[in-house]
Amino acid sequence: MRAMVLNASGSALRLDDHRATPPPGPDEILIRVRACGVCRTDLHMVDGDLPLPKLPVIPGHEIVGAVGAMGVNVTRFRKGDRVGVPWLGWTCGECQYCRTGRENLCDRAKFTGYHLDGGYAEFAVADARYAFPIPDGVGDLEFAPLLCAGMIGFRALRLAGDAERVGFYGFGAAGHIAVQVARHRHQAVYAFTRPGDTQGQEFARSLGAVWAGGSDERPPELLDAALIFAPAGPLVPAALAATAKGGTVVCAGIHMSDIPSFPYELLWGERVVRSVANLTRKDGEEFLAIAQEAGVRTRTTEFSLEEADEALAALREGRLEGAAVLVP
Ligand SMILES: [Zn+2]
Ligand SMILES: [Zn+2]
């Protein structure tokens, strides 16, 4: 099969067009990949921001495809079923986190496209217990960004509590989905983009943001919560300054540049700063149900498998509206 492979931290992906198609283990399905979303986490891997537990590795954890073969223990799916594979690829089921409904924090968790080869390839294997069936009526490309950007955005939104006014710092793949879910939940979204990105601000307003401006601006009203999707530490004090007493600032990315020191006054008043890490399978199921109910539509830009580095460059430079998706 053809696959885009990361051989070393901080290097470009390389095409391997003679890679052996992986055989599915007893609990696994073999998937013919039809689309795979490009996530900022992939960019952090390529840019050397994250430790890499497995090298070489095939990135990609927003996989949409069709089941081609199954291990002996798999009963959930049949050949030809359309499935989605998210970031959470395996958990131990035994640790204190797994036993208390927090498998997203499992010490031994394996993540797709990180510990496990992912979807930047023609075929991928995945543990069937962590894959999602995909409903009819939504295209492969359109569905892919729901599998991480959508699910993580949803978890971040929920961790922000019942906020009426929610700020989004960064309005990319996750933001453009979460704004639609927030609207459905009758929450008002204030979108902050890179200063001067009027096109991004227009995009946010077109999807229902009540206000959009640069991250250096103050919103017209204080926020009840803020979600930080952009990987920039200085946004934490900025978001705290824009958030009312008792509000929560949620850092939604896996990596962020250092947070500068800031006066305690910004945190005072029972403001909370927290991160969101990974997802549970339950989050995924709940999000997919609400996405369908809310009629969430995603904006995607298609790239071929061989164009993976180009897609990552477009993401790095903020040139994308919505999400990049690879089609092998
Ligand atoms: Zn992701
Ligand atoms: Zn565990």
**3-state secondary structure at position 27:** coil
Proximal ligand: closest to the CA of 96: 2
- Nearest ligand by distance to the CA of 92: 2
**CA 16 to ligand 2 center in whole angstroms:** 33
User: Are 214 and 198 contacting, i.e. CB atoms less than 8 angstroms apart?
Assistant: no
Q: What pLDDT is attached to residue 246?
A: 98
CA of 57 to the centre of ligand 2 (A): 23
pLDDT for res 65? 98
Count other Cβ atoms within 10 Å, centred on residue 281.
17
**Tokens standing for residue 198:** 């009027």
Give helix 281-294 / helix 149-159 axis angle, nearest 10°: 100
Calculate how far, in angstroms, residue 53's C-alpha sits from the geometric centre of ligand 1: 16
- Relative to beta strand 165-169, strand 188-193 is parallel
Cβ atoms 296, 317 nearer than 8 A: no
Q: Which ligand approaches the C-alpha of residue 278 most closely?
A: 1
Measured in Å, residue 267 CA sits from the centre of ligand 1 at 29
Structure tokens at 256: 């962020």
Amino acid 169: pLDDT: 98
3-class secondary structure, 185: coil
Output the pLDDT for position 305.
98
Ligand (nearest to CA of 93): 2
pTM of the prediction?
Answer: 0.96
Which tokens in the block code for residue 248? 């929560």
Distance from the alpha carbon of residue 150 to the mean position of ligand 1, in angstroms: 9
- Using only the alpha carbons of the chain, give its radius of gyration: 19
Task: Report, as ranges of residue numbers, the positions in the chain whose pLDDT lies below 70.
Answer: none
Q: What was the pLDDT predicted at 98?
A: 98
Q: How far is the CA of 94 from the centre of ligand 2 (A)?
A: 5
Cβ-based neighbour number of residue 309 at 10 Å? 15
Q: What sign for the dihedral angle of Cα 43, 45, 48, 50?
A: positive
Between the CA of 113 and the centroid of ligand 1 the distance, in Å, is 9
Token pair of 113, please? Answer: 């496209």
Q: Which ligand is nearest to the CA of 254?
A: 1
Instruction: Residue 248: name the closest of 161, 138, 182 by CA.
Output: 161
Q: Output the pLDDT for position 48.
A: 94
Structure tokens at 194: 């890179």
Pair 250, 276: CB distance under 8 Å: yes
Choose among 20, 31, 27, 54: nearest CA to 144.
Answer: 31
pLDDT at 45: 96
pLDDT at 84: 98
Closest-approaching ligand to the CA atom of 104:
2
Any idea which ligand is nearest the CA of 88? 1
How high is the pLDDT of residue 34?
98
Calculate how far, in angstroms, residue 111's C-alpha sits from the geometric centre of ligand 1. 10
Burial class (CB in 10 A: 0-12, 13-18, 19+), 167: buried
C-alpha 61 – ligand 1 centre gap (Å): 6
Question: Contact, 251 vs 230, CB < 8 A?
Answer: no
pLDDT for res 294: 96
* 34 Rama class: left (phi>0) / alpha (psi -120 to 50) / beta: alpha
Query: What pLDDT does 282 receive?
Result: 97
Give the number of whichever ligand sits closest to the CA of residue 277.
Answer: 1
* 19 C-alpha to ligand 2 centroid (Å): 31
Distance CA 97, CA 127 (A): 20
The rounded distance, in Å, linking the Cα atoms of 308 and 2 is: 12
Compute the distance from residue 173 Cα to the ligand 2 centre, in Å: 29
Q: How close is the Cα of 39 to the center of ligand 1, in Å?
A: 5
Distance 112 CA to ligand 2 centre (A): 16
Task: State the Cα–Cα distance between residues 301 and 254, nearest whole angstrom.
Answer: 23
The alpha-helical segments, DSSP class H, found in 7-148 are 40-46, 140-143
> What is the 90 CA–ligand 2 centroid distance (Å)?
9
